[in-house]
Structure 1
Amino acid sequence: MMIFADKRYSRHDKRSKLPSWILSHLRDVNLNLSTDMALHIAKEFLRKMAQPYEKIGGSGRKTLLSEEDLEKMGDGGMDE
């Protein structure tokens, strides 16, 4: 979790200097928040991240790679 606790980051010219991987996850709705609101959003995020992770996703496909999968990738690729 990254918190930009500086009002300057609410300005587009300052935000545009951030790396693209940060900008892709930075939503306008989460800019220029009060401390209480920022804490509320952080709590919700941490609660969501604290939930058990299922190895099989909603589509029935594996979402984590096994040691065998990694070995296949190292040998030239995975065939599904």
Structure 2
Amino acid sequence: METVNIHEAKTHLSRLVEKAARGESFIIAKAGKPLVKVVALDQPSETEKQRIGFMTGEIVVPDDFDRMVSDEIENLFGTGA
């Protein structure tokens, strides 16, 4: 993420706002210390981002997942008969 100093931000505000509106957020710093993060209004915050599918392709669920260790479970709890 780009960091700009306050003087540069004042000088190039229009250009920086356009970049932020396109989704390219940036940080404004004063004397090298970050002060604010500029993001587009319609950009979701980190806590609002949806996580559905975030591990797609990294986890494989076996076809027999619902039957795994069924013999052991039956031995522990009986067959009910």
TM-score normalized with structure 1 length = 0.29
Q: Does 1 or 2 have the higher relative contact order (CA < 8 Å, sep 6+)?
A: 2
> Which is higher, the Rg of structure 1 or of structure 2?
2
